[in-house]
Amino acid sequence: MSSTRFTLDGHGDHTDHDENTGHEGHTHSASVTGRQLLVRIAVGVGVVALLFAVRALIPGLGWSLPNRMQDFITLSISVIVESLPFVLLGIVLAVIVQVWLPAGFFDRILPKNPVARRACISLIGMLLPVCECGNVPLARGLIIRGFTVPESLTFLLAAPILNPITIITTQQAFGGDPIVLIARLVGGFVIANTIGWLYSKHSDPDALLTPGFVRECAVAHDESGPRLVRSLAMFVRETTGIMPALIIGSLVAGGIQTIVPRDVLVALGSNPVWSVLALMALAFVVSVCSNVDAFFILSFGGIFSTGAIVSFLTFGPMIDVKMLALMRTTFTTKTLLQVSLLVGLMAAALGLAVNVLV
């Protein structure tokens, strides 16, 4: 998505190089570069203080908006504030994976057989419990680190479901109805690995990625310099890719929620077929995080069929408005349409199967 080139040491000017080295070593604080460093830090702190001041002074104006506009903004902000920590955590994990893990780390511990390898990759979420929005930067980091595109897709789709926090919250919410948890976990695993397997047949996996991200990968491989500086550079790069997508995804999610009446979905109720599609539509719109969606849908438990809830809990973490905006930073629109359609069909089939069996 972004096409900016980051230049470090070799490309940057000489002052930068000295400055970075000084920062890494923390030893030349008396030198000129040290003073420049202090100036830059002071500018940063000043900007933070300025933002706080602006934020603290403005409410005195006492603006008031029409209800719907106000709610649109409240909903969008709540999605941003709720997702922000996960996104930041995801970016930090991506930085760790890319900059701090030794090269070939994953090749050493993962099986060689592609199917077994993807199966293991879909369980990485058990070790790095980030919900879906944090998984996007992490998946980007994994591609840069040498994962193939189908492998990172498998990770991206499986990790929000196959992670300890999601399992615990689902168990808490649906403890009395074990079919929900089992169907969610098995369904998530199967769907993610099926998508991974399908795309492993693709003749040119790199064509699935946006040109901007392919360039980022190339740049990332060329980087050299102190690890701390590379980490910060990657943080800057990743926030530029991810944050606009997060904010736009949140605005779209807030906008749809303000416009589409919820009772249209609820009215579809317990019909075994329509309820599945209705809850998938709800999951797509609400964009609630996979770690807590079980609690959210529990409150609709009396209205909707079990299969519909299972579809909600498998489709929602993989595909929703916010996720599409985030994934668009990395994958082409065509890829996302294909993946959404495939995941949607499989999640619907899973829900219908549960409705038939239960």
Q: Which is nearer to another protein, 72 or 189 (CB)?
A: 72
Residues 6+ apart with CB under 8 A from 94: 137, 138, 140, 141, 142, 234, 238
Interaction of residue 299 with another protein, rule CB under 8 A: yes
Interaction of residue 150 with another protein, rule CB under 8 A: no
Interaction of residue 35 with another protein, rule CB under 8 A: no
One of 18, 21, 146, 235 touching another protein (CB under 8 A) = 235
Interaction of residue 214 with another protein, rule CB under 8 A: no
Q: Rounded to the nearest whole angstrom, what is the least distance from the CB of residue 13 to another protein in the complex?
A: 8
Instruction: Round to whole Å and give the CA distance between 257 and 325.
Output: 16
Q: Rounded to the nearest whole angstrom, what is the least distance from the CB of residue 165 to another protein in the complex?
A: 11
Give the count of residues interacting with another protein (CB under 8 A): 89
Contacts (CB under 8 A) with another protein, residues 85-104: 85, 88-89, 92
Residue 36: Cβ-neighbour burial (10 angstroms; 0-12, 13-18, 19+): middle
Residue 264, helix vs strand vs coil = helix
What size, in residues, is the chain?
358
Contacts (CB under 8 A) with another protein, residues 242-261: 242-244, 247-248, 250-251, 253-254, 257-258, 261
Residue 21: Cβ-neighbour burial (10 angstroms; 0-12, 13-18, 19+): middle
Interaction of residue 268 with another protein, rule CB under 8 A: no
Interaction of residue 332 with another protein, rule CB under 8 A: no
Instruction: Round to whole Å and give the CA distance between 252 and 244.
Output: 12
Query: Residue written as tokens 């550079």?
Result: 233
* CA atoms within 13 Å, Cβ hemisphere of 49: 6
Q: Rounded to the nearest whole angstrom, what is the least distance from the CB of residue 257 to another protein in the complex?
A: 7
Q: Rounded to the nearest whole angstrom, what is the least distance from the CB of residue 12 to another protein in the complex?
A: 6
**Segment near another protein (CB under 8 A); pick from 69-77, 145-153, 178-186, 199-207:** 69-77
Helix axes 178-200, 164-174, angle to 10 degrees: 140
**Segment near another protein (CB under 8 A); pick from 13-21, 100-108, 186-194, 331-339:** 13-21
One of 30, 63, 109, 204 touching another protein (CB under 8 A) = 63
One of 120, 146, 194, 240 touching another protein (CB under 8 A) = 240
Residues 6+ apart with CB under 8 A from 84: 246
Q: 74: closest CA among 316, 251, 299, 249?
A: 251
Q: Which is nearer to another protein, 122 or 290 (CB)?
A: 290
